[in-house]
Amino acid sequence: MDETQHEVNTPREVVREFVVASASLDADRMAACTSGDEIDREHMRAFLDMRNANVAFKEKVLATYGADGWATFNDNEHGFLRATARRDVDAELERSEDYRIRVTGDSAVCMAPGEEDGIHLVRQQGRWSVALRETMGLSSQKAESEGQLYAALAKLVNSKMNRIGADGVTPETLDKEMGAAIRPLIEVAER
């Protein structure tokens, strides 16, 4: 590895990439700056797929039914839909400049001021990446269970997209349909 490559693969640069990927909900960019096993990667992709589905759902509901229509989905049953915005990348990058990074050999922890949990990084074969498992703080079993739930929620939200604005379909109709479909998914995930 030449000196130029090393400079662009510092823990700070990897954290910046992770911040951009997280804020923009970019799964490909996230995959490029992270490391983990297949379960970790499936969890991460399912989470971002769910978030992207939520964003598209919210945008379509707002365009079709307005803010009052969207308000129908702001209850505890649809809590997962509240995470529906891509964050401002520039603001997140600026905020990340205050993160403290502590490097110990081939591992590092990046902490935001006032946060208890950090972003864990690992250097493998000379390249730094965000260690998904450590950053998520989940067991393999929990990551797999959550990943399946996120994938199911993304599928549900995407399946309801074509119902928005259909004849006779109101926000209340969609609310009832989604509520009936969400309950069994949550019950399975809680087992």
Model-level pTM greater than 0.75? yes
Q: Express as a percent the part of the chain with pLDDT over 70.
A: 88
Would you say residue 185 has pLDDT above 90?
Answer: no
- The end-to-end CA distance of the chain, in Å, is 47
Predicted confidence (pLDDT) per residue in 4-63, tens digit = 333 458 999 999 999 999 889 999 999 999 999 999 999 999 999 999 999 999 999 999
pLDDT of 119 over the 70 cut: yes
Domain boundaries, the chain: 3-190
Dihedral of the alpha carbons of 64, 68, 74, 78, in degrees to the nearest 10 = -30
Note the pLDDT of residue 76: 62
- Determine phi and psi for 107, rounding to 5 degrees: -135, 160
- Tell me, rounded to whole angstroms, the distance of Cα 81 from its chain centroid: 12
Q: Is the per-residue pLDDT at 132 higher than 70?
A: yes
Output DSSP code: residue 10: S
Q: Under a CB-based contact definition with an 8 Å cutoff, are residues 17 and 33 in contact?
A: yes
CB 147 within 8 A of CB 43: yes
